[in-house]
A = this chain, B = another copy of it.
């Protein structure tokens, strides 16, 4: 449990949620992870917009952006790096899956230290393993950063070695979906390819930003089905999320990559 001063619930310092919160009981909520640099949340308006879109898909009413703005002001100081996690749950309910007639959501904002290793891995290339767990398909939940994350938990539990930086997730049909906590891009045939996320997977904010800025490098981005062989054959492989922005992949099984001109160029653009 972190000090309550670093967590706000509905804008008030607090560290606990009611056990009957539907987030706790059913994973009935959505979240975002935001990188904060010198008091500035990266991609803030995009993050809030995606949080709202995800909540909409689950029928969870969203607070106004000014509520999150208030949380940000209360939690975030002027200097350094931090991680701001935003969580929106459908609030407390009576017993059973049906939401109450009048939903009163819980808005959670948590500040945490920024992970240390991110820039080091970005410079040297990430080591990727292939997870045994295969993602199930659920179009109704695909792409949403929701709180039903047991697949990610089980996949992440497959390894403990600190020199492995991320696990690659495939679906039951053998298509590559992304990393356990990241999205995937491959550079092949002069274009960027990234897995479709309409059957499973989480559509992260860094993925959206890469798709938004790739054109500045003259690159097209295409969402498509990607097989493991496509990844192994790619000129470059990149992982993205809001904290790492881009990690170029240095190794996957026996395949090694040592130069990442596209990855580094995109990473520079993302942080501009």
Give residues of chain A (115-173) contacting chain B, Cβ–Cβ below 8 Å.
115, 133, 135-138, 140-141, 146-157, 160, 172
Chain B residues, Cβ within 8 Å of A149? 25-28, 97, 148
Let me know if A19 is at the binding interface, CB within 8 A: yes
Chain B residues, Cβ within 8 Å of A24? 17, 21, 23-24, 89, 147
- For the complex, give the distance between the alpha carbons of A149 and B141 in Å: 11
Smallest Cβ distance from A146 to chain B, in angstroms?
A: 6
Smallest Cβ distance from A53 to chain B, in angstroms?
A: 16
Let me know if A42 is at the binding interface, CB within 8 A: no
Chain B residues, Cβ within 8 Å of A40? none
The interface-forming segment of A1-9, A247-255, A264-272 is A1-9
| CB closest residue in chain B, given A132 | B140
- Other-chain contact of A148, B7, B20, B59, B150 (Cβ < 8 Å): B150
Identical chains bound together, number: 2
Do A15 and B19 have beta carbons less than 8 Å apart? yes
Do B19 and A110 have beta carbons less than 8 Å apart? yes
Let me know if A16 is at the binding interface, CB within 8 A: yes
Do B21 and A97 have beta carbons less than 8 Å apart? no
Q: A1-B18, A148-B149, A156-B97 are in contact. Are A137 and B140 (CB under 8 A)?
A: no
| Other contacts beyond A17-B24, A59-B154, A136-B138: 11, CB < 8 A | A15-B18, A15-B20, A17-B17, A23-B24, A24-B147, A26-B148, A27-B150, A83-B95, A97-B152, A97-B181, A148-B148
Contacts A/B (CB < 8 Å), 28 sampled: A1-B20, A2-B20, A7-B20, A14-B19, A15-B18, A15-B19, A16-B17, A16-B18, A19-B110, A22-B153, A23-B24, A24-B89, A25-B87, A25-B147, A26-B148, A26-B152, A27-B149, A28-B149, A59-B154, A83-B95, A95-B112, A96-B156, A97-B152, A97-B153, A98-B160, A135-B138, A141-B154, A148-B148
